[in-house]
A and B are shown apart, each in its own frame.
Chain A
């Protein structure tokens, strides 16, 4: 197997505080990878740096061995990296359909077309319809993004992230705010998308049962550093990991 994304001594500091420190990761293509860790461990910051949303203060990032450390987020998306957000970040005033159509148009390099109607973009429209179905939002198509229920907004968030057809996709707590049953459904959907679309997903998830049952690989972060990484079985046995999750059943 080969690394789809690799980091060298990655660091991000907010004043005195090291949100991400000395992170050397090698994410494998095709492995369903989870990033776990307590609140404030630096998971979101790591995704922010890897997706180009923030620039690191130290270190380097390679995507398929091409350096992308200082590339902006839009350029990284064009290379095949996308993400979702922990705090809902959809297009609230646009319809659900348009929410999905826009990233598809972006992928097809159609957004500079100024005089054609949206309906005339047949290929994009078809693809957006398909994705809507995949994330179970076909019926909500004409509602505005901001009017959806919380759970549907999370699905839309996921839909937007996969609509650029990424090779590598970071999902920051895709099931946050959902009940345990919904959580499992959503994470199983992500797994299904992973195999159908050939996308490598890196997810941040707090529900340990789900993490350990669905992941191929787990990265544990604590205080900005990678504490351990490995297969679910090995992580479960790791004493340091058990210590930071003291009291919790993992």
Chain B
């Protein structure tokens, strides 16, 4: 009951955000929502299935480039976003086949390599990706279903509501997935792969599903970016970007449902603040993350959710 009320208040506050907060705050919240979606997907693999991926930025970039290419050719926001998500999902399904045959450090290294392959593709395949200049001038196309409605997205506040809607949808779906039989099967694999196989569950199938869903989430976060920034560049696919959901999740808590979301808020705000004071922001951020992770074993979110050991 308490949790529900808190969620309701949070959603109302978010829904009214443009009314009481400035443009910059709206911009920051959009980024936090993107990182939350990105981190949740990552945590399906890590916290729920026991696979640590260092290549999620590759799928994020697939979503971003996919959406950008579509918007440049055909300016419809929905088509762009859905197209980006589908691209990322297809690529993650494909690479998933290869990655999920391995676990632990081998899996991590493989995802890292594939992520970097996507990065170099973004860098080198100039005709397609614009190389190091990236793709520019991506329109924030109107949200439109022909014959039904057409909403202008030029004001960022309008686009904020699109992102918020997608984030709420993604988070709700995620909640259902991890509390479903399929989610339980993934947790079984995390706890004991051999035991899971010996109760009749195909470990590979559920690892692949988890990998693909994580890829879809990364793709969604990525696809929501180009309409905001109007540009996409190769660093989106870089491994250091893959590290962001890892750190956000560790900060917030691997084993709590809301951990990656809480972590994303913290991570983004910390980064945003530190960047203003020092060019060594990565070093400072690294130290703070280490201190927080060691100080709050189980993540910052576990303080709020301790009672029921919710995951």
Contacts and interface: CB of A to CB of B under 8 A. Distances in A.
Interface of A: 51, 53, 72-74, 77-78, 82-83, 85, 89-94, 98, 101-103, 105-107, 110-118, 121, 124, 144-145, 160, 163-164
Contacts of A93: 187, 190-191, 255
B194 interface: yes
B55 interface: no
Ordered nearest first, which 7 A-B pairs have the shortest CB separation?
A77-B200, A103-B199, A91-B191, A114-B182, A106-B200, A111-B185, A73-B197
B198 A82 contact: yes
Nearest to B195: A89
Contacts of A74: 197-203
Contact of A83 (B180, B187, B198): B198
Nearest to A145: B191
Interface in B165-183: 173, 176-177, 179-183
Contact of A160 (B184, B185, B195, B309): B195
A144 B179 CA distance: 16
19 contacts: A74-B202, A85-B195, A89-B192, A91-B191, A91-B195, A93-B255, A94-B184, A94-B188, A98-B184, A106-B200, A111-B182, A111-B206, A112-B181, A113-B181, A114-B177, A114-B180, A114-B183, A124-B181, A163-B199
A46 B94 CA distance: 37
Contacts of A73: 197-198
A110 B194 CA distance: 19
Given A113-B180, A160-B195, 9 more contacts: A74-B200, A74-B202, A85-B198, A91-B188, A102-B188, A114-B183, A115-B173, A116-B180, A118-B184
Chain B: interface residue count, which band?
20 to 34
Given A90-B192, A117-B176, A118-B179, A111 B184 contact: yes
A101 B180 CA distance: 12
A160 B199 contact: yes
B182 A117 contact: no
Given A89-B192, A91-B192, A77 B198 contact: yes
A16 B271 CA distance: 58
A28 to B, nearest CB: 23
B190 to A, nearest CB: 7
A110 B181 CA distance: 7
Nearest to B184: A102
Interface in B220-263: 255
A193 to B, nearest CB: 17
A90 B187 CA distance: 12
Contacts of B203: 74
B184 to A, nearest CB: 5
Contact of B181 (A90, A91, A111): A111
Nearest to B255: A93
A221 B196 CA distance: 29
A53 B194 CA distance: 8
Nearest to A112: B182
Contacts of A98: 184, 187
A102 B190 CA distance: 13
Contacts of A160: 195, 199
Contacts of A145: 191
B194 A89 contact: yes
A105 B177 contact: no
B199 A118 contact: no
A88 B214 CA distance: 31
B47 to A, nearest CB: 10
Nearest to B187: A94
A216 B42 CA distance: 52
A118 B196 CA distance: 17
Contacts of B194: 53, 85, 89
A217 B201 CA distance: 31
Nearest to B182: A114
B199 A164 contact: yes
B177 A72 contact: no
A144 B183 CA distance: 17
Contact of B199 (A53, A106, A114, A144): A106
A83 B195 CA distance: 9
Contacts of B184: 94, 98, 101-102, 105, 111, 118
B174 to A, nearest CB: 11
B181 A118 contact: yes
Nearest to B186: A111
Nearest to A124: B181
A27 to B, nearest CB: 18
A121 B181 contact: yes
A102 B177 CA distance: 15
